[in-house]
């Protein structure tokens, strides 16, 4: 049932050596819920803090995290990523919506890379803004879409409505 458990019940990496190389994409999203005082401060200061540009720093951190996913998540394969794009937008309600899309031509998917990217980008926002308030909430980290490989996935609820 679980792909990382062998017939003896022991954990192990999945052998992907015989799988076909195909184009794999994954889109993940995370919301950073901001207290009003912080949302206003970021809006007024164009996402700048004393630590630097919040959005740009979080994007760099997210890309670095995606590239280092196999060192963070046991059993993840090192994947030669072709692209990793991260966007951070302040929503109408003041929260930050972080999206990551990862693309690779490989034998296994890139969902974990996309999820790791948004998670670390969100933690970077928290770190850069905690001097204003520690009342931020990181929520709704999830896979929105994956394409390629054995099956595709689309979270219809995320596509139909806004998360922020």
Helices 54-67 and 111-129: angle between axes, nearest 10 degrees: 150
Q: From CA 88, how far away is CA 101, in angstroms rounded?
A: 12
Q: What percent of the chain has pLDDT over 90?
A: 76
Q: From CA 114, how far away is CA 56, in angstroms rounded?
A: 17
SS3 126: helix
pLDDT at 163 over 50: no
**Stretch 75-99: mean pLDDT:** 96
Average pLDDT, the chain: 92
CB 66 within 8 A of CB 81: yes
Q: Which stretch of 7-16, 31-40, 53-62, 129-138 has the lowest confidence by average pLDDT?
A: 7-16
Looking at 15, 46, 99, 127, which residue is catalytic?
A: 127
Q: What is the pLDDT of residue 64?
A: 98
Which domains occur in the chain, in start order?
Answer: 22-157 (3.30.70.640)
Q: From CA 159, how far away is CA 67, in angstroms rounded?
A: 26
CB-CB neighbours of 87 under 10 Å = 14
SS3 113: helix
Q: Where are the beta strands (DSSP E) in 3-51?
A: 22-33, 48-49
The predicted model scores a pTM of 0.91
127 carries an active-site annotation:
yes
Q: What is the pLDDT of residue 38?
A: 94
């Amino acid at each position: 049932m679980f792909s990382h458990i062998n017939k003896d019940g022991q954990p192990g990496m999945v052998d992907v050596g015989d799988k076909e190389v195909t184009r794999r994409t994954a889109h993940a999203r995370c919301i950073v819920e901001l207290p009003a005082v912080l949302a206003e401060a970021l809006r007024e200061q164009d996402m700048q803090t004393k630590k630097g540009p919040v959005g740009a720093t979080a994007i760099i951190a997210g890309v670095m995290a995606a590239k280092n996913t196999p060192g963070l998540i046991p059993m993840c394969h090192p994947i030669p990523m072709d692209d990793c794009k991260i966007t951070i937008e302040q929503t109408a309600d003041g929260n930050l919506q972080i999206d990551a899309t990862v693309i690779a031509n490989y034998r296994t998917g890139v969902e974990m890379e996309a999820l790791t990217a948004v998670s670390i980008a969100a933690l970077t926002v928290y770190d850069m803004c905690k001097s204003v308030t520690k009342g931020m909430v990181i929520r709704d980290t999830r896979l929105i879409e994956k394409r390629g490989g054995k099956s595709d996935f689309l979270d219809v609820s995320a596509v139909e409505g806004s998360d922020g």
